[in-house]
Structure 1
C-alpha cells in the first residue's frame, strides 16, 4: 500500500485534533492490517487530549480508542482473513488504515454496520461487564443509571432492561428523557427539573445498583438512595470530579463500591472482555440491543465531535466515518 492516507492527530495537549495526509502504516508479520470504516469518540478521548487520561500519550498522537473496519491482511493462525469485518480496541483508531495485534480485533455480526460496531465495544462492554460482573445485577432488581442519555448510559439502560431489571434513568431535558424511556427505562427523572435527586429516587423505591459515569453531586445523591446490600459502580466522572461517598453509610448498610475501568481488563482478564463482547453480539443478533449514534460525522469534522462531547450535546455515541 503506497498511497497516502488521512489520519487525525493531537499535536499538542489541550488542542483539538487536526487532519493530516500521511503514509500508511506497515504491519509487522504478526499484526493485522485494517482499512478503518468508522471510529467512535469517548469521554476518555477528551481526557487524553488534555493529558489527564490514566493511560497518557505524548503528542503528536492519533486519537481514538475504538473503531471498526475490514481486514486487509492478517497473520496465519489468527483466524482472520482479508475481507473480515471487525471491531478494534486499540489506541489510534482515527486513521483510515491501522496495524494492530490480532487480540485487539473481533469479527462482528453480519447485520451490524461498521458505524454501529465502531462505538459498540467500550460503551456496551463497560455496561455489560460492570452490571453482570461487579454489579451482580439480577432480574427484578432496581438499577439507577446516571447520565442515562450519554454514550455509556444508554447502553446501561438497554442492558439492564435486557437482564430483566427495573431501570430508573437520570437525564437532562425532555428530548433526552424520551430517548432514555425508549431505550427501556421504566422510570426517568429529568435532572433539569428535579430539586432533590435522593428524595426522588427514594420515592421510586430506592436502588439495588447504581451505575455512575457522572460522579459529583448526582453520584453522591444516588449513593444515598441505595438499599442495604446495594452496589455502587464507579464508571467515570463526566460531572468534573469523583463523588464524595460517605463510607460510614457503606459500612452500616453493607454497600459495595466497585471501580470499573473496561480498558483495564485487557491486562486483568482479556478473556472476560472477549466473552462479554460475544454475549453482547448474541443479544444484538436476537434484536435485544439497538446501538444509538448521537451523531455521525466525517473525519474532517472530528473537532466538532470533540465540542459536542465536551458540551454534552450528543445522545449516544459520536461516530466518525473514515
Structure 2
C-alpha cells in the first residue's frame, strides 16, 4: 500500500510516497481503508520538526482522515463497512491505517469523505475550546481571529451551533467573503479590528475571543472583551508568542485560558466520543459544514502543504486516496 512519509525535516520537500506492507491491527484498534486525508497545520509542523510530537524519521504523516472500516473489535463503537472519520497525532496518511477505537467516529451518510477528513481535529478543538474551556452560552458573542482558517471556520460554525453570535476577524476581503458565506454574523478586517468590534457590539465588547493567530493581537483582543470575558489561546499561526500585561485582566475581571485539546482529550477515555456526540446534531443539521478549499492526489501532498503554508487556499485542503 501507499504511505505518505516524512523522510527529512525539510518541510514539505521531505515528503515521499513509498510502498509499505498493510498494518495488522492490535487489540482495540480499528482497521480503516482511507478515502480522504485532511491537510492540517500540525502536518506542516511535523515536516519541519516543530511540532510538540517528534517521531523518529522516517514516519508516516497524517492527522485527519475519513474512510470505511475494514475490521473492528467487538466492543468498538463502529463495525466493518461503517463510514468513519478519525484523527491521530500522526500516521493517518496511507491507504489502510490502524486507529485506536477512542479516535474513530461514525460519519453520517450525507457527509462526503472529503468533508469527513476536514472534521476531526479542527472541530473537536473548537468544541473543546467553546464548551469546556469557555463555557459559551446561547446569546453570547464570540470573536474568532483567523476566521478563514481551519480552526477558525470550525469555531465559527460550532459557536453558531451553541446559539452564539459570531464575529470573524480576517486579513483580506476575499477571506471576508468566505467567512460571510459560512454564516458569521459580522466580519471585520484585522487592521483596526478593535474599533470595528466596538462598533458592531455597540461598545459592549465580546464575551469570548478565540485566538489561533497570536502575535501582536493580544492587547487589542483583551480590550475587545466585555466584563468577565474570556480570551482563549489556541495557537500561534502568526509565529510570535505574545506576552500578557496582567494588569489588564483586573480591569474587567477578564480570564485568559489555554486550549490544549490533545493533551486534555488523549488521557480521558471516552471524552472524544462525547465531543463527537455533541457535534453530530450540528453536522446532521448542516450548521457544521466544513469548507473544502482544494483536493489533491496523495502524490501531491508536498504541493498541498506548501500552498496551505503560503495561505493560497481558502478552506480545508484534502488529499484524495480513493
Question: Could you tell me how far apart the structure 1 residues matched to 2:40 and 2:138 are?
Answer: 29
Question: Could you tell me how far apart the structure 1 residues matched to 2:63 and 2:43 are?
Answer: 7
Matching residue within 85, 91, 102 for 1:87: 85
Question: Could you tell me how far apart the structure 1 residues matched to 2:283 and 2:119 are?
Answer: 10
TM-score, normalization by structure 2: 0.93
Question: Could you tell me how far apart the structure 1 residues matched to 2:135 and 2:76 are?
Answer: 33
SS at match of 2:270: helix
1:285 aligns with 2:281: no
Structure 1: 5+ residue runs without aligned partners?
Answer: none
Aligned-pair distance for 1:202?
2.4
Q: Which residue of 2 aligns with 1:12?
A: 8
Structure 2: 5+ residue runs without aligned partners?
Answer: none
Indicate if the aligned counterparts of 1:223 and 1:245 stay in contact, CA closer than 8 A: no
- After alignment, is 287-296 or 75-84 more displaced? 75-84
Question: Could you tell me how far apart the structure 2 residues matched to 1:71 and 1:153 are?
Answer: 30
Q: Which residue of 2 aligns with 1:164?
A: 163
Indicate if the aligned counterparts of 1:211 and 1:234 stay in contact, CA closer than 8 A: yes
Aligned-pair distance for 1:79?
4.2
- After alignment, is 86-95 or 73-82 more displaced? 73-82
Q: Which residue of 1 aligns with 2:46?
A: 48
- The 3 A distance-change label for structure 1 pair 277 and 29 is closer
1:23 aligns with 2:21: yes
Q: Which residue of 2 aligns with 1:73?
A: 71
1:198 aligns with 2:217: no
1:222 aligns with 2:256: no
Q: Which residue of 2 aligns with 1:112?
A: 111
Aligned-pair distance for 1:170?
0.7
TM-score, normalization by structure 1: 0.93
Root-mean-square deviation over aligned CA pairs: 1.6
Q: Which residue of 2 aligns with 1:299?
A: 298
Q: String of CA shifts for 1:76-131, please: whole Å, max 9, x gaps.
A: 33243221111111221111111122222122112111111111011111111211
SS at match of 2:60: coil
Indicate if the aligned counterparts of 2:102 and 2:270 stay in contact, CA closer than 8 A: no
What is the number of residues matched between the two proteins?
Answer: 315
